[in-house]
Amino acid sequence: MLFQPPSPAPPYAVRLRAEYPKKLSRLSTFFRIILALPLIIMVAILGGGGAFFALGATLSFGLMSGLLLVYWITVLIRGRPVRWIFETIVAIQRFVLRSQAYILLLTDRYPPFDGTHLLSYEVDLPDRVQRRQLLFWKTIVSIPQFFVVSLVSLVVGVFVFIAWFAILFTGNFPKGLHDFVVGWLRWSARVNAYWMSLTDVFPAYGFSEEGARGGRTAYLLSAMVGALLMLALIGGIVALIVTPGKSVQTTASYSSLLQDRPSSQLTIESVAVRLTSARDPYEFGEGVLTPAPDGRFVLFSIDVRNLNDTGLNVYERDFGLKDSRGDGHDPLLVTIGGAESPRRVGGGAPVIAVFELPRGAQPAELTIHIHRGLKRDLKFVFQ
């Protein structure tokens, strides 16, 4: 019996190819960011995987998220994809990848939804899809691939910047850099397709068209690393939730505030806050706002100082007032530097907070939440 060579492995279900352009327009390349703005908006609306390609292989947002959810539900019910949903997802992915090719200077041609193009992207319709691996398990296994592809995207950004200058001078995208960028797109497309369950075959770590199937060792290592990272993430979230909040408080004389004598200063997370004055009752201009028949307005003037270079976001919901009856009150109005919240505080800003209290109740405690970590509170307890 003659020796029979082993039959070649079938091609990987996800295939991306891009022809090398002989010549590229210098003018189009120079203004590429401006010319690509409509595409960027379109891709953001469609939300195909990799819509925000600067992060490498990304998850899906926008209109794609709803379609992908329907796809997963049908797979869970039937065990196999619905052809038209599958083909629609692939078509959106194809348009997104062609848009990326245009933005990354691989071509001068605006991407069509169909027809011929320098970049081709095809995915074979699977007969069955593993329901047990859908979403959760594939997310775990894909985490290391997403991470590596995202790191490589930084190199891609540098290479595209170099290629931009090369095209302006020579009209050509350097071949080696072109192959690298296309390979990165191919790898990103494979990881996205696997995570979306367009295929059950784990992709290899690499750019090549050949050997696109990941080996068993790579699969097991990815599963272990992904599981550890997922457990670490879940543990971190749980720790943040159950960890007691950090807060500082001081006493403040309410009568002194009514006489424009400031309180002592509280500092937390490089943010210093002082109550400067209060008005009780406070009246808005005629016809602006009026309190309930049995209520009154109370105004607090607050000095907020940001002591480091990190911007501080201040929102209306960050302020709360408890009265002498133990009832809590949200502010009617908060202004930061004379403008309504939310605002970003650089060095410092005067803050006005107006509350409505019942006539028989007195302010007992003013709480201010600081957006630097969870549960960071400043409390002024009135005497």
Closest CA to 172 of 29, 46, 278: 29
pLDDT number for residue 167: 94
- Interior/surface letters 66-77, b for 16+ CB within 10 angstroms, e for the rest: ebbeebbebbee
Q: Give tens-digit pLDDT for 40-82.
A: 888 888 865 444 443 333 444 567 888 889 999 999 999 899 9
Q: pTM for this structure?
A: 0.68
Tell me: do 152 and 194 sit in the same domain: yes
Tell me: do 79 and 118 sit in the same domain: yes
Q: Give tens-digit pLDDT for 299-355.
A: 999 998 888 877 778 888 889 999 999 899 999 888 888 787 777 777 778 889 999
Sign of CA dihedral 61, 66, 68, 73: positive
pLDDT confidence bin for 372, thresholds 50/70/90? low
Tell me: do 299 and 204 sit in the same domain: no
Look at residue 5 and tell me whether its pLDDT is greater than 90. Answer: no
Is residue 3 included in any domain, yes or no? Answer: no
Residues shown for the chain: 383
Is residue 279 included in any domain, yes or no? Answer: yes
Residue at token pair 């209290």: 357
Q: Tell how strand 376-382 and strand 246-252 pair up.
A: parallel
Is residue 1 included in any domain, yes or no? Answer: no
Look at residue 84 and tell me whether its pLDDT is greater than 90. Answer: yes
Is 141 or 244 the better-scoring residue by pLDDT?
Answer: 141
Closest CA to 59 of 167, 197, 210: 197
Is residue 289 included in any domain, yes or no? Answer: no
Is residue 102 included in any domain, yes or no? Answer: yes
- Interior/surface letters 131-155, b for 16+ CB within 10 angstroms, e for the rest: eebbbeebebbbbbbbebbbebbee
Tell me: do 350 and 208 sit in the same domain: no
Tell me: do 303 and 227 sit in the same domain: no
CA distances from 222 to 13, 50, 122, 147, 304 (A): 20, 21, 25, 11, 47
Tell me: do 82 and 225 sit in the same domain: yes
pLDDT number for residue 60: 44
Tell me: do 183 and 319 sit in the same domain: no
- Interior/surface letters 176-187, b for 16+ CB within 10 angstroms, e for the rest: ebbebbbbbbbb
pLDDT confidence bin for 183, thresholds 50/70/90? very high
Is residue 242 included in any domain, yes or no? Answer: no
Is residue 243 included in any domain, yes or no? Answer: no
Look at residue 360 and tell me whether its pLDDT is greater than 50. Answer: yes
Averaged pLDDT score across all residues of the chain: 85
CA distances from 225 to 139, 147, 202, 218, 221 (A): 12, 11, 15, 10, 6
Q: How many domains is the chain built from?
A: 2
Tell me: do 160 and 278 sit in the same domain: no
Tell me: do 217 and 309 sit in the same domain: no
Tell me: do 277 and 228 sit in the same domain: no
Look at residue 267 and tell me whether its pLDDT is greater than 70. Answer: yes
pLDDT number for residue 98: 92
pLDDT (average), residues 95-111: 91
Tell me: do 333 and 255 sit in the same domain: yes
Is residue 288 included in any domain, yes or no? Answer: no
Structure tokens at 274: 């002082």
CATH number of the domain residue 316 falls in: 2.60.40.1240
pLDDT (average), residues 127-134: 88
Q: Which domain holds residue 272?
A: 248-283+295-382
Residue at token pair 């029979």: 4
CA dist., res. 288 & res. 297, Å (int): 12
Is 260 or 47 the better-scoring residue by pLDDT?
Answer: 260
Q: Give tens-digit pLDDT for 273-302.
A: 899 999 998 988 776 788 888 899 999 999
pLDDT number for residue 82: 92
Tell me: do 20 and 97 sit in the same domain: yes
**Residue 300 near residue 382, CB atoms below 8 Å:** no
CA dist., res. 350 & res. 262, Å (int): 13
CA dist., res. 221 & res. 200, Å (int): 17
